[in-house]
Amino acid sequence: MSALRPWAGVALLLLPVLIWVLSLAANYDVIADVDVSRASLAPSVDHWLGCDHLGRDVLWRLITASESFVGPSLFACVVALVIGVPAGALSGWLGGLPASLTRFGLTTVASLPRFVLVLLVCAAFGNSVQLIALAAGVAYAPTLAEAIYARIQSFRHRGFVLAGQAHGLRSGRILWLHLLWVNHRRLILRHCVQLFAYFLLLETTLSYIGGLDGAGSFGVAQPDPSWGNMIAFEWREPQANIWATLAPGLATALVLLGATWTGRSLIEEQA
Amino acid sequence: MSVHLRSLRILAGKRALVSQVSLHILPGQITVLVGASGSGKTLTARSLLGLVHGIEPGIVAADLEIQDGEVIHRPYAAVDRERAFVPVRGPLIAWLPQNPRAALDPLQAVGAQIRDCLKLSGQNTGLDVAPEPWLERVSLAKSVGRLYPHQLSGGMAQRVGIALALARGSRFLIVDEPTTGLDPSLRAGILEELKRARDSGVGLLLITHDLRLVRQLGDHLLVMDRGCIVEDRPAQDLSAMQSAQAQALWQATLRLEARQ
């Protein structure tokens, strides 16, 4: 079982990405698909997960909701990589005052709770998923940078770095190829997986809160589907089709589980 | 072509770790640098490559002269030392560090590292960047190329280190305690390898505690003690050594041999 866990993790993690591609390809109009005559319909052959209390197909909303987090969370990963990798690598490699200054900046950002930071950005600049993704990426970058910094710092005076220099390898090649690519890619990938999961949780949480207050002031607002607002939209309905709340909740849990398993399998034993 | 290091001084704060060290490496010769632990052997070797960092504040003063016919290269005299050492590290001088396993990239297969070295040396453009011949040259199986450093035994790692240094195709080779912790047959194999390198015209600087190596393959002997050179002589007649420290080391070696 434990041998299968990494593969199960990757499969669970790739599932939303596949669904996202499917959703983009199908381009199904979930907003127009309202039919009150099938309100709270139980699962059937026509509607595999039934319908919600407005008579909207739950499966299609579940699929389309992937658009509200997969793309943005990949964007968040890119933002975190673009900031975190050079900052961590260069400060770990160069040391001295530039490193101290960079790390001071990073720790300042890291000292704000991420969730609060994201809420602040939403409050100040408006509430779009792309903006949330940008904020999440920026908020996560210090964690990535610190992890890379700590390892580069400890690798910098190792024998093989010195030996590489003695063989005439340029510093740039040692840093980017031997240190970052060969020795840090798993670490970086693990942080990306973690950020992916973090963003899913963040978007679901915000959309859930936004869905509860009805005004849609946080996250993705109805009628656009998100796993968070799907739960918020249905769970207080007396005659609800239970799959309309259960399915997005289960989907969220499974993807997070996949991310945890994948992340764990990427932790390498310390050399 | 020859390497001359004169009046090397390495300071840590006000304390001199190495002072007034001079040595010469000539092509086709093995210069042996002997000394107790902490006598500054490794620092001296690293100063030949300009790699003496990690010592604070690490002040290095030296006159390093690499002579190639009429051309004389003096990296320590250059304004930008880092840049001046670029042609030295690798093409001219290669370094085989003390702990060869630590000197290998822990997450890259051995074969790939040798291939990188060959690409770097540029002597095998195109077809011939296969690591196998180099592994065979140090009596390792071809399949070793697929292994990672943590899968190698100490002796294998040592030989991979030598293969890397040979693949780099440098004119001079600094070998830091190559036989530490090896059994006699492996030791003999590695010494054989070093002799072969010498006979092909490579100049070697061999660092060791073991005076017996000097008898076996040394051309010139230097003995270091507390950062200074105390003995500088041809390696032929070791019993005629002048300094007390060198004599003590030699007597200890003789006692050890007598006991064995």
pLDDT in tens, A195-239: 999 999 999 998 898 888 766 678 888 888 899 888 888 877 777
Asked whether the predicted pLDDT for residue A270 surpasses 50, the reply is no
For residue A48, the tally of other CB atoms under 10 A from its CB is 14
Q: Is residue A208 part of a domain?
A: yes
Return the pLDDT at A222. Answer: 81
**Domain C-terminal end among A171, A198, A225:** A198
Query: Cβ of A159 under 8 Å from any chain B Cβ?
Result: yes
Q: Is residue A52 part of a domain?
A: yes
Return the pLDDT at B39. Answer: 86
Return the pLDDT at A271. Answer: 41
Q: Which domain holds residue A189?
A: 72-198
pLDDT in tens, A91-123: 999 888 989 999 999 999 889 898 888 888 888
Q: What is the mean pLDDT of residues B64-78?
A: 82
A119 and A104 fall within a common domain: yes
Q: Tokens 């039934």 map to which residue?
A: A50
| Most confident stretch, A72-76, B2-6, B48-52 | A72-76
Total of domains in chain B: 1
Total of domains in chain A: 2
Q: Which domain holds residue B155?
A: 93-169
Q: For residues B214 and B29, what is the distance between their CA atoms, to the nearest angstrom?
A: 12
Return the pLDDT at A236. Answer: 79
Contact criterion met (CB < 8 Å) for A169 and B106: no
pLDDT in tens, B170-210: 889 999 888 877 788 888 888 888 888 899 888 999 998 88
Return the pLDDT at B213. Answer: 83
A18 and A121 fall within a common domain: no
Return the pLDDT at A215. Answer: 66
User: Are residues B47 and B5 in contact, defined by beta-carbon separation less than 8 angstroms?
Assistant: yes
Contacts of A182 in chain B (CB under 8 A): 105, 107-108
Q: Which of B54, B93, B97 sits opposite A163 (nearest CB)?
A: B97
Q: What is the mean pLDDT of residues B13-39?
A: 87
Q: Is residue B231 part of a domain?
A: no
Question: What is the DSSP secondary-structure string of A51-71?
Answer: B-TT--BHHHHHHHGGGGTHH
pLDDT in tens, B96-135: 888 888 888 888 899 999 888 888 877 655 556 788 888 8
Contact criterion met (CB < 8 Å) for A160 and B91: no
Q: Is residue A89 part of a domain?
A: yes
Q: What is the mean pLDDT of residues A266-271?
A: 62
Q: Which amino acid is at B97?
A: P
A54–chain B nearest CA distance, Å: 56
Burial B136-166 (b: 16+ CB within 10 A, else e): eebebeeebbebbbeebeebbbbbbbbbbbb
Contacts of B46 in chain A (CB under 8 A): 162
pLDDT band of A252, cuts 50, 70, 90: very high
CA angle B16, B221, B190 (to 5 degrees): 105
A62 and A177 fall within a common domain: no
Mean pLDDT of chain B: 84
Complex-level ipTM: 0.75
A137 and A234 fall within a common domain: no
In three-state secondary structure terms, B203 is strand
